[in-house]
Amino acid sequence: MTFNLVDKPVITPHLFQISLGGFYMSRKQLILLVVLAAVISLTGCRSAHVTSSILYIDQTLYTKAITVLHEGLEYTPDEAEAYFFLGEAHSKRSELAIRENDFLGAKNDYLMAYDYYAKASELDPSLADRAYESMLFNYIQRSNDAKNEYRGKYYEAAEGYFRLAYAAMPDSVAPIKNIARMKIKLAADDNDNPDLLNEALVLLDQVIEASPEAFLLKTDKATVLTRLGRTVEASALYDGLLADHPEDTDLLIDVARLSEEDQRFERAADMYMRVIDIYETSEDDMSEEIYPLALRAAAFLGDSSILRYQEAIDLYGKALRLELLPEENTMMQKLKLHYDYGRSLRREAEFADTPEIKAEQEQLAAEQFTAGTGVGNALVNSYLESAIGYYYLGMCYMELGNNTDSEKNLQIYRKLEGSN
């Protein structure tokens, strides 16, 4: 049929139709024709089904676009653009499914979109960049959704969006890693649910296999193994990581915490001390980070099962210097260590092989008791009700042979203890 362009259009008052040589079109049909003509002029010569699909996509009629394209592909099975726009239609339909909370439908559409984009790129390499841009857009959109949910601590929702990101670009390992991390978060909220932790472990192994040098993924795996109670495996993994990254403070702290769980307190203290040494060389002020580590390491080193007194005393001294106002407990622990260390040295002196060694040990012991009186007096002057402070101060004076000051402080101790 041809249009008689000489005839004037006739506008009817009821249907608002245009007559061209006896052929009638509604206003909607005319607009569609104009849009179609514009699309053709912009895109060049395209098949009818591709052109129709573009119009359907513009009108958000994604299922119709998909149907038309499949019908066309029955006649032109190697038409690259048809596959490209199938990818576009499925991508758009996926977004619509997300708005309707149909995550399974969205996932399936993204997977199909990926396959169609790949097919289009294979048939026509000139479409590869456009196809990749579309896939990347889908991936970034869903990854951003996931990050927003993560910031709100909605870990299950975040996992759902990361799964969609993976469906959008299934050759990317980043979403798998993030899904694993969401499972770790969910497990923590559920008393370290072992099922969730094991699921995370499987995913981490999958990503580590693809990226064997992935340091952070291995630390995640070590964390999961620790929480599953598989501490021997975790420790072996940490040892390998430490060999390659001896200055990584986060890793050192993780190893220290694992050592605590295994009751390897001396190893934990050594890890904390390594972190302190690294922090102290930093250009930034790391005082707030050093302080709790110093206290923790000191507590372990001063334990009767380890007896590294001098290092523990030095660490308590470091902690005291970092306190704006010396804390009672920190001063107390340092005072007690001076006394315990002095007593230990005095016991060693009793079994010394020579008089010279005995005299040296006695001198070292006296230095510890003297240091204890300095800390003890500072303690009781700042905290007048510190009964244990008076006790250890009195005991330090007793070891030094100063019975007067010893008895004075022990009397205050007994009085405070009696009042309590």
Query: So what's the pLDDT on residue 360?
Result: 95
**Measured distance CA(176)–CA(407) in Å, rounded:** 69
**Measured distance CA(146)–CA(202) in Å, rounded:** 21
Question: Token digits for 308?
Answer: 């590294």
Domain count across the chain: 5
Same domain, 17 and 99: no
| Beta strands, E only, 137-246 | none
180-227 residue pLDDT tens: 999 999 999 999 999 999 999 999 999 988 887 688 889 999 999 999
Same domain, 64 and 121: yes
Read off the DSSP letter of residue 125.
G
Least Cα distance to 94 among 128, 71, 75, 117 occurs for: 117
Query: So what's the pLDDT on residue 420?
Result: 53
Query: So what's the pLDDT on residue 214?
Result: 82
Phi, psi at residue 64, to the nearest 5°? Answer: -65, -40
| Beta strands, E only, 116-223 | none
* CATH number of the domain to which 268 belongs: 1.25.40
In a domain, 240, yes or no: no
**Measured distance CA(192)–CA(197) in Å, rounded:** 7
219-239 residue pLDDT tens: 999 999 999 999 999 999 999
Same domain, 305 and 255: yes
* Per-residue pLDDT band at 298 (split at 50, 70, 90): very high
What letter represents residue 335's amino acid? L
Helices (H), ranges, 7-47:
27-43
pLDDT-wise least confident of 41-45, 160-164, 272-276, 339-343: 41-45
In a domain, 56, yes or no: yes
In contact, 212 and 239? CB cutoff 8 Å: no
Q: Give the global pTM.
A: 0.66
Instruction: Output the CA–CA distances (angstroms, integers) from residue 315 to 80, 272, 382, 393, in the order listed.
Output: 70, 11, 21, 20
pLDDT-wise least confident of 26-35, 158-167, 199-208, 355-364: 26-35
In a domain, 239, yes or no: no
In contact, 412 and 378? CB cutoff 8 Å: no
Least Cα distance to 68 among 79, 46, 52 occurs for: 52
In a domain, 237, yes or no: no
**Measured distance CA(23)–CA(34) in Å, rounded:** 16
Helix axes 215-227, 174-188, angle to 10 degrees: 30
What letter represents residue 107's amino acid? K
Same domain, 28 and 103: no
Helices (H), ranges, 74-127:
80-99, 103-123
Same domain, 63 and 149: yes
Q: Which domain holds residue 314?
A: 246-324
